[in-house]
Amino acid sequence: MSKVALITGATRGIGKQIAITLSKEGYDIALNYRKENDELLNLKEQIENSGVKCLTIQGDISNFEDCEKIVKQTIETFEIIDVLVNNAGITKDMLLARMKEDDFKQVIDVNLVGTFNMTKNVISYMMKARQGRIINISSVVGISGNAGQSNYSASKAGIIGFTKSLAKELGSRNILVNAVAPGFIETSMTEVLKDEVKDEIAKSIPLKRMGTPEDVANVVKFLASGDSSYITGQVLQVDGGMLM
């Protein structure tokens, strides 16, 4: 039986690359997305060209019932979930003095509560199977903080605490829980930055470049594999040495 990976927020950027990378490793893929977009069918076709199955499931991870549906559809189709990648996230950057209450709440609800919602619905199946991998996409700003991102930083710091706590709860069931903390990665979120800003960012990074979605996806691939069988409760920074 093929292994199965369920990935949230999987139609663009880091999530899209994680889906492609894991499909090339032979994983059947369940893609969660919130809104229909032009990339979805192309991505599904690209994944299936790797010789694996691909299920697309619409749902808002900040809604617990939607997460129940996402997990149920995945189980009904594939019978098992070997890997859960909690990738979906949003930003609403603003200095706290100007930030609206809803801007704070929405980021927490999607990034942190969404991670809880998906994990809560998946772990019963993993516990029954007595195996599984949960990989949570955090951020280096969850470790360092960042001006103008108090909501995002808080959500990503929360994911780190959630990861470590859950690793202690589930270790005896052979369920490994780890987090990946990307630094500056070339995605649609960073495309809006001016070239001179990108250049300054690159200069501040020891490797002198921004990361790529592939850099993050390769770490997720490692954590999903048998090569990481003695690693749990860890935060792997994928930041080119930016945060040391």
As annotated, the active-site residues are 152
Task: Please state the φ and ψ torsions of residue 81, each to the nearest 5 degrees.
Answer: -125, 110
With tokens 């893929």, the residue in question is 29
Q: What is d(CA 51, CA 29) in angstroms, rounded to the nearest whole number?
A: 11
120 in Cβ contact with 172 (< 8 Å): no
CA angle 69, 72, 74 (to 5 degrees): 110
**237: Cβ contacts below 8 Å, ≥ 6 apart:** 140, 143, 181, 183, 243
Strand order in the sheet with 54-58: 54-58, 28-33, 4-7, 83-86, 132-137, 175-182, 235-238
CA atoms within 13 A on the CB side of 201: 17
